[in-house]
Amino acid sequence: MQRGLHVGWGEAALPPHVDYPVEALAGECLSLMAGLDADTEGFLHALELRECPARLRCGISTAVLTLRAAEHGKSLAAYLLGAGATVPARVPVNELITDADPAACVQLAAAAIAQGQDTVKVKCTTERSLDLTRVGAIRQAQPEINIRIDPNESWPVAWAADQLNAMARFGIAYCEEPLPRGTPLAAYGELRRKTRVPIALDDSIRTTRDVELAALLGAADALVIKAQRVGGADKLLEIVKAATERGLPCTITSSLETSLGLYLGIHCTAMTPSPIAAAGIGTARYFAENVGDPPAIVNGHMAVPTLPGLGFDVQAWWDSRS
């Protein structure tokens, strides 16, 4: 989106497991915007009335909001937080460990420590013994590191509590949404009462109403939020505020996005209250090609852009495609 000298960029990233033609996605985006004036203040509200899917709304709203922020001479985070808010200079980033080999897991954890990171997220599976060995090896090698585990909604209710209790001796920071997608939040409340390992909800949290219900049912100790999944940075900020009011800390993660999405993730992380949880936005290595250089991890952190707007320019990549 461009107005005068300012340009707003956005990205609508589908989940990694979804195969959908790019042309169809672009066509859907244009259809949703047909007849609307993106220059008006009520544009995003009008888009919501058309029930725009969250990931398309994230791309569109990011372009609109980064443009507005640039026109006000503010970074996206500063613009959304409002006058008087303090934006941190940098945000912490966690390392992601997916290797099945325990020795490889230990090496990756050591590499994370070497570059200043203090938190790792270990992807877990239904191979219970192997996962205990992997996580245990990391804990033995790095007694001080923060370990998060993420079963990717693969653990059945029948043994999830037993596995969590077996993991408890490793000092797990939290377990991210272990139960199958669609599991009622009440079931997470029951799971929390059966284990000492904190539970973080991820896919189950998409709106402020989800936050309210999770708090009411005692379903979570923390929330994991993706801008793409909830509809953009403005919607994410609403969820963070609702969670903070209820004592639920938030971790910001990406959805396997390009460098543009990772810069958005930095701004979103900067909008969470202190102490800021290490964000899961160090995923650029999964891209063979990108739209620009990804944000660097320096001493375990990414710098928060201070330039007006997103602080990341995609123009060179865009021009190369024409």
Kind of pairing, strands 90-92 and 301-303?
A: antiparallel
Q: 220 is written with which tokens?
A: 């979570």
Q: Residue 194 phi/psi, 5° resolution?
A: -105, -5
Coil, helix or strand at residue 199: strand
The C-alpha atoms of residue 240 and residue 236 are separated, in whole angstroms, by: 6
Write the DSSP string, 20-73: --HHHHHHHHHHHHTT--TTSTTHHHHHHHTT--HHHHHHHHHHHHHHHHHHTT
281 neighbors 254 (Cβ within 8 angstroms): yes
- Where residue 307 falls (left for φ over 0; alpha for ψ -120 to 50; beta otherwise) is beta
The C-alpha atoms of residue 136 and residue 171 are separated, in whole angstroms, by: 10
Coil, helix or strand at residue 107: helix
Kind of pairing, strands 119-123 and 95-97?
A: parallel
* Cis geometry, peptide bond prior to residue 275 (ω within 30 degrees of 0): yes
Provide the residue type at 296 as one letter.
A
Q: Which residues are catalytic?
A: 123, 226
